[in-house]
Amino acid sequence: MNKITREKGQFKVVGTRVKRPDGIDKVTGRAQYGADLVVPGMLTGAILRSPHAHATINSIDTSEALALPGVKAVVTRADFAALDDDEMIDIADNCLARDKVLYHGHAVAGVAAKDAQTARKALKLIKVDYTPLPHVTDVDAAMKPGAPVVQSGRQEENVQPEHSENVTGYCEFGHGDVEAGFAKADHIIERDFKTAAAHQGYIEPHACLASMTNDGKADLWCCTQGQFNVRSLCSAILDMEASQLRVTASEIGGGFGGKTTVFIEPVALALSRKSGRPVKIVMTRDEVFRATGPTVSSSSTVKIGMTKDGRITAAHAKFRYQGGAFPCATYSFGAQAAFAAYDLEAVKSEGWNALTNRPKEAAYRAPGAPMAIYAVESVVDELTQHFGLDPLEVRLKNAARENTKAAYGPTFDQIGLVATLEAAQKHPHYSAPLGENQGRGVSCGFWFNFGGNTCVTMNLNDDGTVGITEGNPDIGGSRASISMMAAEELGIPYSDVRTIIADTSSLGHNDVTDGSRVTFAVGLATIEAARDAIRKMCGRVAKIWGIDEDAVIWEDGYAKPSGPNAGDFEPMSIKEIAAISSNTGGPIAGHYEVNADGAGVSFGVHLADVEVDPETGYTQVIRYTVFQDAGKAVHPDYVEGQMQGGAVQGIGWALNEEYIYGEDGVLQNAGFLDYRVPVASDLPEIDTVILEIPNPGHPYGVRGVGETSIVPPLAALSNAVSRAAGVRLHELPMSPPKILKAITDRG
C-alpha cells in the first residue's frame, strides 16, 4: 500500500540541515551518559569473571568477601528468579553463570561496596571452585563431531545428523533448479571464506545505576538502545512487575546493536535489592571486549555460475556462523541477505549456527549480512575478472529491481539498487585513473530494515509550541529528525518542537532502537500523532466557527475553512488555538501507536580504491565513495553520517579488527591498542552520494539508513586489495601479514 502523502518539492523542514537539539549539551560536556549519574548513598558494583574458557562451577564461597569491611552485598546466579523460557534463561545465564562458565570473562558473581577499591578487593576474596572442561572457539572445529560440547540439548530438529551437538540451527532459502542453472554457466567459481568476529566498539562502556527500595520499587538508569526491553528482561530476571521498574535511558555513547540486551543491569538491581542502597556498575574496556558484543565469526562456501556476458545462472552458498556460547539467529539473517542484490532464476542459501566458548554474540549493524555478502560479492568479482567484464555492468545486468522475487522469499517493491549502481557508474571516482599497486573494488550491500512496535505522544503547549514524547534512545540524531517530521506535518518551525526520550513509566512500549527503525517507525508514528492533534485542533476551530469539522482544513500551521462554501473565517494559527484551548475543551494532545510494517529495504554500493605495499602487505585506503538509497533523507547530514560511520566500521573489519584467541581459549587482544579500530590518520575522506527512492511504506518516503553502510566495505576492500595485489584474498581481516603471505605465495 502506498502511504506517501508528501513528496519531493513539498517539504519545508524535512531535507534541511538543522542543528541537533542535543548538540550544545554534547559539546560542553553537559550530556549525561551511563556512567555520569551520581546519587546520594551510591555503592560501587563490580563483577567477578571466569578465568577459564569453559568450566563447571562446583561451588561459590562468598563469606570472606562479605566479611570485608565496606562490602554491602554479594550476588550470584542464585539471586535471580527461576525462569522457564529458554531465551530468558540464556540472557540471565550470560549476566551471571549458572552451572558452568561458558567463556573466558563470563560473569560469575557481583559485589557492591563502599568504593571501587573495596569492591575490587572483595572480588579477590570470592572463592569459586571450578573443574575446567575442554573448549572450542573456532566455528568449523565446533561443528565437527567430537568437538567439546558447549551446551547440550539446544539443537533444533532440522539440523543434519553429521554435525556436532554445538550446531543449534539450520536454515535454507532460495528458489529454482540450482543444478540446471550451473549447467547453463560458461564458468563456475566456488570458494571458501572466513571472517573474524568484530566488536561494535562503542566508545562508552556499559554502565548503569540501579536503585531498589524494600517495597519492591526500582529505578534503573543505563546506557541502552532500548529501555523498554531492559525493563522486560530485568523485571523477568528479578521477578518484578514491570510497573514497579522504571528504566531511564541515559545519553548513549554508541551502540551499533551491542546495547540491545542486558549484562550488568540485572546484577546491579540484585545488588541494590540486597544492600538496600543504589548501586552503580561501570564496565572496564577489558570487560566490554571479553563479555559483551561482538558479532559472529563466519566460515562460508559460495559457488556461482555465470555466462560469458555476465549473467548469473545459479548460485549456492553455505554460511557457518558461531555466535558464542548461546544460540542466536544471526546465521539466518546472513543466509537471507546474501543474494538480495540479485535477480536470480536459481539460488540456494543455507546457514548453520554453532556454539563456541566465546561471549554471546550481540547484534552489530546489519547483523549477519556483511560476512555473507562479502563472500558472495567476492565470487561475483572474481567471475567478473575471469571474463574481463566491468564490475558495475555485471551487477547492473543481474540487479534486483521492482518486482524481483528475492532469494529470501519476498517480491521487492520500489527499491533503489539500479539507481545506486548507475550513480556509481557516472561518478568521477569510477573512471579516475589508478597508479601502481593500486586497485579499485566494488560491492553491493543490502539490509532488510525494520519497523516494529512504536508509540508517540504529541503535546501542544499553551504557547502553541509542541513537545514530542518518544521512546527510542537517540544514537544518531533521531531527536532532530523526529522534531523535523513533526514540524513538517504541523506546518510550524523546527525550533518550536522539542523531542524527548521517555522513561518506561511515561509512554507505552517501544521496541529497541535497532533495525534502522527509528527515523522510519518513530517518524511515521510522530506524523500520525501530529495528524491526530490536527484533527482535534480542527475540531475545536469548527466549534468556534460553528461549522462541520470536515469543513476545516489544516495548512501551514493554520486551521482554515476548506473552501468558500465552508464560510468566510480568518484562519486560526496553532498559537491562537493553543492559547484558548482551556475554553474549547482543555489541553490538546495527539497520540499514535503502531506495530509498523513497510520499512522498505535498503541498498548501497561502495567504491574503494586502495594501495597495497608489496613489501609490507600494508593497505592504505586512498579513496572511498558510498552510494546509498535513503528513501527521503530527513536530515542529509545525519544520513551522510550513517553512511560514513558504517563504511569506516566496515573498513576496520576488512583490514584490522578481529577477536584473536589463544590455544587456552583466552581472548588475546581485549583492548583498543591490540584490537585496532580505524583512527583518523588511517582514512581518506569518505565521499557520499544519497539517492532518494521513496519508500511507499512511509508518509514521506523515509527508509532506514543506519545499517546498510557496514555491508559493502568488506567485499569492496577485499576486491580492491585482490586487484591491487594481483592475488585473491578469502579471509578477513586482511592484515599486512596475510596480504604479504598471499603476495609471496603468488610468486
Partner 1 sequence: MKKIHVTTKVNGDEVEFLCPPEETLLDALRDRLGFSGAKEGCGTGDCGACSVTLNGRLVCSCLVLGAEAEGAEISTVEGLAHGGELHPLQQSFIDNAALQCGICTPGILVAAKALLERNPDPSDSEIRYWLAGNLCRCTGYDKIIKAVKIAAAEMRGETA
Contact set with partner 1 (CB under 8 A): 17, 19-20, 22-33, 35-36, 38, 117, 200-205, 251-256, 282, 284-285, 475-477, 637-638, 640-641, 644-649, 671-673, 677-683, 685-686
Residue 82 or 673: the one with the smaller Cβ distance to partner 1 is 673
Q: Which helix (H) or strand (E) holds 734?
A: none
Quote the strand ranges of 54-166, DSSP E: 55-61, 71-75, 100-101, 107-113, 127-132
Residue 191 CA: distances (Å) to CA of 354, 380, 427, 489, 529: 21, 11, 31, 51, 51
Nearest residue (CB) to partner 1, 34 versus 515: 34
Distances (CA, A) of 216 to 83, 228, 386: 19, 18, 68
Candidates 380, 351, 27, 296; CA nearest to 174 is: 351
Give me the least distance between CB of 232 and partner 1, in Å please: 24
- Cβ within 8 Å of residue 596, ≥6 positions away: 451, 452, 453, 454, 517, 520, 521, 524, 525
Q: Which is nearer to partner 1, 334 or 678 (CB)?
A: 678
Beta strands 466-470 and 497-501: pairing type?
Answer: parallel
Shortest CB 188 distance to partner 1, Å: 37
DSSP state of 397: H
274 class by beta-carbon count within 10 Å (0-12 exposed, 13-18 middle, 19+ buried): middle
Phi, psi for 595 (deg, rounded to 5)? -105, 95
In the complex, minimum distance from the CB of residue 398 to partner 1, in angstroms, rounded to a whole number: 29
Secondary-structure percent of the chain, ordered helix, strand, coil, rounded to 5: 30, 25, 45
User: Closer CB to partner 1, residue 32 or residue 301?
Assistant: 32
For residue 248, the minimal CB distance to partner 1 (Å) is 17
Cβ at position 652, least distance to partner 1 in Å: 9
Phi/psi for 484 (5° steps) reads -65, -40
d(CA 246, CA 642): 31
- Distance between CA 626 and CA 31 in Å, rounded? 31
Question: Closest distance between partner 1 and the C-beta of residue 254, in Å?
Answer: 5
**Cβ distance to partner 1 smaller for residue 27 or 82:** 27
Is the CB of 76 or the CB of 478 nearer to partner 1?
478
The whole-angstrom separation of Cα 741 and Cα 721 is: 13
Q: How far apart are CA 185 and CA 393, in angstroms?
A: 18
CB of 110 to partner 1, least distance (A): 20
**CA–CA separation, 198 and 364 (whole Å):** 9
Q: In angstroms, give the least distance from the CB of 294 to partner 1.
A: 13
Choice between 171 and 621, CB closer to partner 1 = 621
Q: In the block, which residue shows the cell 528504566? A: 247
Count the Cβ atoms, other than its own, within 10 Å of residue 546.
8
Q: How far is the CB of 688 from partner 1 (least distance, A)?
A: 8
DSSP state of 81: P
Cβ proximity to partner 1: between 322 and 644 the closer is 644
Residue keyed to cell 518550536: 496
In this complex, which beta carbon is closest to partner 1, that of residue 491 or of residue 641? 641
Take residue 567 and report the three cell numbers written for it: 464560510
How near is the Cβ of 677 to partner 1 at its closest, in Å? 6
- Nearest residue (CB) to partner 1, 325 versus 648: 648
